[in-house]
């Protein structure tokens, strides 16, 4: 039907803005993309080198983009490793293909875990020196640095996803007309969501950039959990919270005309104590304060179990201690894996699973202290 109604020089039906003869004409007879080509494109997108600092600071760049750890290697990853490895998700095409798209923990060497090419050597050192070279004291600058690094990781990752648009558009080569239509419709919806997410990220990046340029971290908010041991889970990521810990909707993420609030979650070990920080900037106060109030309204002994479930539900840049995972009951592992599947699924509706009750049993360090930074209950 498509072939009979579109002229060779008409714009293609898929929305590419190319002429039909240069796009989907005889697409069903074209050779499908090879797996190695997909894997190569994935690797290229996720290993590109750029420094994400504001343009006004880019003149200071050392020019040497480094493979920086979002979770410190020496103090944190090694603290939970076993034989030099942690467990984590390998976000590669080969791994996703191997496990049929199901999130599966695999061994990752501490040298490779949590790295990305998002800063030059100079800025990676300068921006995060208060974390790497000082004991954690929950200062606004330290909480800002944690939030910014987590945000930068998400910005980098989402930019990589957007850069793979041409690959996704060619995924229907060798397919029937109906299969082409189905694939391109899914692509259209995926691209719509990805572009909206990038607009959100650009909106928040402007606030982070302004704080960096002014060296003013007063708009930073955080909830800090201090543990007496390293947390068995290391995470660094940023997300738009949709539900709180009572099941109430915080914001409508499907409303693409509105910018969504953003929260970052980071855990690490400073060599003395375990630290889990949920942080955000003032422009995300509405959703993030509501989220934190719902968590802190729970019994104190439930804070960490709920945080664990939140991390598994919303983040992919997570690394866990092999010994801790091995000790978990099979039911607990299955529940956490199910929460992670919610995160990566493109078909399941957003939900509050894992936020209303503790769904598994965890052996966790003792919670020594809770600190609020930049705001109050």
Task: Check whether 349 has a pLDDT greater than 80.
Answer: no
Half-sphere exposure of 55 (CA within 13 A, CB side): 1
Task: Give dist(CA 92, CA 41) in Å, integer.
Answer: 10
Task: Check whether 51 has a pLDDT greater than 80.
Answer: yes
Task: Give dist(CA 234, CA 227) in Å, integer.
Answer: 13
Mean predicted confidence (pLDDT) in 150-158? 95
Mean predicted confidence (pLDDT) in 137-164? 95
For residue 102, the tally of other CB atoms under 10 A from its CB is 11
Task: Give dist(CA 103, CA 170) in Å, integer.
Answer: 25
- The answer to whether the beta carbons of residues 364 and 232 sit under 8 Å apart is yes
Task: Check whether 16 has a pLDDT greater than 50.
Answer: yes
Task: Give dist(CA 270, CA 261) in Å, integer.
Answer: 29
pLDDT of residue 366: 96
Task: Check whether 216 has a pLDDT greater than 50.
Answer: yes
Tokens representing residue 257 in the block:
């005309």
The residue among 284 and 135 whose pLDDT is bigger is 284
Burial 124-148 (b: 16+ CB within 10 A, else e): beebbebbeeeebebebbbbbbbbb
Q: How does pLDDT run across 235-262, given as a tens digit for each residue? A: 999 999 999 999 999 999 888 888 999 9
pLDDT of residue 4: 58
Task: Check whether 345 has a pLDDT greater than 90.
Answer: no
Mean predicted confidence (pLDDT) in 47-71? 92
Task: Give dist(CA 316, CA 175) in Å, integer.
Answer: 32
Percent of the chain with pLDDT over 70: 94
Task: Single out the residue of 160, 72, 147 nearest to residue 113, CA to CA.
Answer: 72
Compute the radius of gyration of the chain from its Cα atoms: 22
Task: Give dist(CA 124, CA 144) in Å, integer.
Answer: 14
Task: Single out the residue of 174, 169, 167, 163 nearest to residue 15, CA to CA.
Answer: 169
pLDDT of residue 1: 46
Q: How does pLDDT run across 266-283, given as a tens digit for each residue? A: 999 988 999 999 999 999
pLDDT of residue 75: 87
Task: Check whether 204 has a pLDDT greater than 70.
Answer: yes
Task: Check whether 310 has a pLDDT greater than 80.
Answer: yes
């Amino acid at each position: 039907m498509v072939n009979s109604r579109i002229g060779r020089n008409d714009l293609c039906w898929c929305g590419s803005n190319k002429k039909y003869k240069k796009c989907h004409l005889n697409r069903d007879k074209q050779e499908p993309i090879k797996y190695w080509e997909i894997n190569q494109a994935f690797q290229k997108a996720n290993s590109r080198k750029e420094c994400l600092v504001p343009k006004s600071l880019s003149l200071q760049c050392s020019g040497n983009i480094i493979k920086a750890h979002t979770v410190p290697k020496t103090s944190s990853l090694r603290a939970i490793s076993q034989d030099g490895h942690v467990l984590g998700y390998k976000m590669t095409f080969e791994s996703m293909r191997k496990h049929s798209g199901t999130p599966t923990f695999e061994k990752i060497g501490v040298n490779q875990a949590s790295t990305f090419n998002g800063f030059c050597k100079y800025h990676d050192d300068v921006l995060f020196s208060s974390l790497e070279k000082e004991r954690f004291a929950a200062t606004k600058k330290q909480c800002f640095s944690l939030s910014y690094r987590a945000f930068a990781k998400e910005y980098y990752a989402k930019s990589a996803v957007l850069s793979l648009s041409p690959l996704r558009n060619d995924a229907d080569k060798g397919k029937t007309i109906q299969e082409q239509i189905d694939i391109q419709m899914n692509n259209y919806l995926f691209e719509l969501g990805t572009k909206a997410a990038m607009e959100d990220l650009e909106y928040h990046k402007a606030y982070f950039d302004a704080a960096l340029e002014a060296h003013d971290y007063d708009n930073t908010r955080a909830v800090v959990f201090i543990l007496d041991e390293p947390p068995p889970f290391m995470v660094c990521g940023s997300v738009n919270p949709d539900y709180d810990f009572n099941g109430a909707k915080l914001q409508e993420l499907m409303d693409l005309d509105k910018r969504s609030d953003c929260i970052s979650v980071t855990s690490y070990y400073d060599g003395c104590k375990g630290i889990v920080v949920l942080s955000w900037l003032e422009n995300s106060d509405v959703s993030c304060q509501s989220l934190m109030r719902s968590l802190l309204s729970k019994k104190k002994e439930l804070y960490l179990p709920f945080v664990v479930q939140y991390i598994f539900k919303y983040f992919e840049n997570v690394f866990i201690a092999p010994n801790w995972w091995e000790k978990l009951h099979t039911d607990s592992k299955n529940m956490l894996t199910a929460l992670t599947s919610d995160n990566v699924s493109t078909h399941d509706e957003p939900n509050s699973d894992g936020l209303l009750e503790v769904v598994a049993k965890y052996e966790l360090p003792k919670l020594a202290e809770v600190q609020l930074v930049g705001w109050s209950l």
